[in-house]
Amino acid sequence: MKLMLTTCLLILATCVAGPAAERPVAERPVAERPAAERPVAERPVAAEIVDVPAERRDWGLPIGNVRVRFADGHAERWTLQGRCMELRQSASGRVGWSRYTRRNSHGEPVNNVLRVMVTNSHWQDFQAALPFIRDWDFAEGDEAVVVVSGSRHGAGVMQCFSLKTGKLIGTAKEGTSKEVQPEWARKFMEGREKKAEAEQEQ
pLDDT of residue 35: 55
pLDDT of residue 92: 86
Q: Which of 22-26, 110-114, 188-192 is predicted with the least confidence, judged by mean pLDDT?
A: 22-26
Q: Which of 65-69, 101-105, 194-198 is predicted with the least confidence, judged by mean pLDDT?
A: 194-198
| C-alpha closest to that of 59 among 40, 86, 41 | 86
User: Comparing 59 with 171, which gets the higher pLDDT?
Assistant: 171
pLDDT of residue 25: 34
pLDDT of residue 94: 92
pLDDT of residue 8: 46
Is the residue at 18 inside a domain?
no
Is the residue at 13 inside a domain?
no
* Tens digit of each residue's pLDDT (9 = 90 or more) over 145-177: 999 999 988 889 999 999 999 999 999 999 888
> How many structural domains are present in the chain?
1
Average pLDDT over residues 184-201: 87
Please say whether the beta carbons of 66 and 53 come within 8 A: no
Confidence at 78, pLDDT banded by 50, 70, 90: very high
pLDDT of residue 108: 92
Is the residue at 11 inside a domain?
no
* Tens digit of each residue's pLDDT (9 = 90 or more) over 21-58: 323 333 444 333 455 555 666 788 999 999 998 888 88
- Residue 156, CA atoms < 13 Å, CB-side half-sphere: 21
pTM score of the predicted model:
0.77
pLDDT of residue 38: 59
Is the residue at 62 inside a domain?
yes
Is the residue at 97 inside a domain?
yes
Is the residue at 5 inside a domain?
no
Identify the domain containing residue 73 by its residue range. Answer: 25-201
